Amino acid sequence: MSAALDGALADGARAVLLRGAGAVFCAGWDVASIRPGDSDPMAVIAEVVGPLLRQLRELPVPTVAEVAGPALGFGFGLALCCDIVLAAEDALLGSPFRNLGMVPDSGTHHHLLSRLGLGLASELIYTGRLLKGGEAAALRLVNRALPAAELPAEARRLAQDIAQGPTRAFALSKQLLLQGGDFDAMVAHEGRQLQQVFATADLREGIAAFQQRRKPQFQGR
């Protein structure tokens, strides 16, 4: 997957749509392959899981996850590392690690705490309860939930629409969103990013299109 992301950027992709093959988004680890005492989870996280999730989260183009089916464990973290998550109303999302006696991984604690708060994050971790797409959307854990039949077309439409936008500016905004910080620091960071935007062809095109009362044709440059 890491190579696929690198390849997409090398090919000039201006947005990435992440979807599973078939009815499952990603069901996580193969539990049957886990041998307590034999494996080194820290090595797997440090060498494989962490770098891949970081690469996806910090990808310099917008990312959209299309969750048509179960997104569990690693798959749950994978989806939530995308900028926007669309889910089927009946898709299952979560980390059922409770029943395995494990600690959730793949950034699950960060995602749940930052999006849901301490109380609900604790409940989901301690109970192992899985959320359907509709409930996840109501809780703002994912952006939207749609009927399964409508999801693929809407996810593609959204990704294509974003890809036609000023993706250089989007990349700078993404850095700000991931960096966070207090209000004064954010205003200062925005000023620095705007300074970079003022040198882009997309800004010149946007201003020209506004003046000419037409739709801008952004090139991501």
CATH number, domain of 197, equals 1.10.12
- Asked if residue 189 and residue 88 are part of one domain, the reply reads no
Residues of the chain with pLDDT under 70: 29-42, 45
What are the tokens at 85? 């998550």
* pLDDT score of 47: 74
* pLDDT score of 77: 93
What are the tokens at 210? 């506004």
Between CA 141 and CA 36 the distance in angstroms is 32
Residue 218 forms part of a structural domain = no
* pLDDT score of 30: 63
- Asked if residue 105 and residue 23 are part of one domain, the reply reads yes
pLDDT tens digits, residue range 141-150?
999 999 999 9
> Cα–chain-centroid distance for residue 160?
16
Between CA 135 and CA 85 the distance in angstroms is 13
Beta partners for residue 64, in sequence order = 17, 84
What are the tokens at 129? 């309860």
- Asked if residue 155 and residue 172 are part of one domain, the reply reads no
Which of 166, 168, 169, 161 lies closest to 64 in space, CA to CA? 161
- Asked if residue 158 and residue 120 are part of one domain, the reply reads yes
Which strands form 63-67's sheet, in the order they lie side by side? Answer: 16-19, 63-67, 84-88, 144-146
- Asked if residue 208 and residue 143 are part of one domain, the reply reads no
- Asked if residue 186 and residue 115 are part of one domain, the reply reads no
- CATH of residue 51's domain is 3.90.226.10
- Asked if residue 88 and residue 60 are part of one domain, the reply reads yes
- Count Cα neighbours of 54 within 13 Å in the Cβ-side half-sphere: 7
Residue-range definition of the domain harbouring residue 193: 167-212
DSSP structure class, residue 32? G
